[in-house]
Chain A
């Protein structure tokens, strides 16, 4: 291979003249390939696979524990655990309601914290930027991969819960929180909507985490900072005296996903959560861009 011969170029690579390749002038073409590479990096990494295995274990544990020792008496209105014995469908919802409290956000916090800081720490950031990957494109691909990861782990918990529940308790028409029944198919659609709502919330965390990740070259520091922010939000949200603060907290609206299990669906109750997430995403993606666009990369 004549690696340095400017005239013998691979098809699709730019000519030496002013008429550069179509892709060269617009940094977004070919982004799909980079994005797929990013997903392979996240989902192919053993550490992340182990984390996903832990996430997937909880629905199974919930299902088995409930099978061995069924809960007696009804819990609160949104107590999915009490409904499990009647319909395995509720294992998925019970698992999501438990894991959204800590495990799902921690998983997203870890991926987001590692996204830029991890590359900076390895030194691969400087090589990506000289490929060149423009800084905008790098942030866009990193964030898109975080969102895909959030959706994937949410669906993972739901699907594993669904399968474990159906195996141990069987399925059937789903009794909603409002008391009426819908068919199993519509139940599945509502479960999918729940996953979507939770993914939006986790994507807000992902934006915050991406910003934190641009602040440091230490991925563990960014991961720990992101985890602390999530836990702090949960703790503050549990202090009634701080109710004026609650609407601004990242995690405040996440459990509102139960509104999707009423008939008719209380969309009004979902709106503040979606607006809050959108605000978080806009603010922290902008902050990440402002921080990263002009930063000297000395790692």
Chain B
């Protein structure tokens, strides 16, 4: 009898089953938010959802594929401008522009990847930032979209989403929630797949990965294009909620990359749970310290330094190392058959 006959390979654990159950309850509660939450609360939850999506995508890039980009604002801004251009010039319904923004993001990510994948490490990071700055400067030249000072979404288009303001807000809220769920689910499914196994191997050891048949360039390229596409969708939704866009807001390295890096690093890079936990901590800090002005940014800096010194793998990485708990069932465990 071979070993395969008396062992099975399992993935779910009690912790992951409980987490899935709580996750579903939480999701039902959040879907129903327009009936129980106030407008300010829904706005905040939307923002949290959009940051969960951005952070999960950046984590996929940096934490798994080793692509430390500081230029993801290129795709946030691109998505935002795509929404404005598609709705104003081509009459595309705003909610339809959000998935289309993903296609635009992917289409642009392909040539950018071919170009910047020639760079390594810190040079890659700087390269991505340069690309984002080029985007910002280019969009500042488009006078039809307001040039450097930006433009607002015309009232007619806004009304086209839904007649009443509350329904409109409910739609964009559900879109934000849906995008966050879609991104986390995509990351989860990807990491569970064969390609995800390759990606995790690349995260741990590129030399061994390439020697075991993994095409590192193609794997990274795939991840880069997927994240760019979804980041552009998130960007489109962000600016659909803001109703106003300008190059400085759209391609802000602070808002769309620096905060996202903070979130992933304190939450736990290279884990699915990390970006979610990091986002919650980020918003807790922001909501409690927002009145302090610049002191708030100082506190963020101190928190980041403290976490990096005390728990270099982030808060979730620390918990995972201590307890082995996993909320998203990824690890395959070999269990003897009874």
Q: Do A and B bind each other?
A: no
- Chain B residues in the interface with A (C-beta under 8 A): none
- Chain A residues in the interface with B (C-beta under 8 A): none
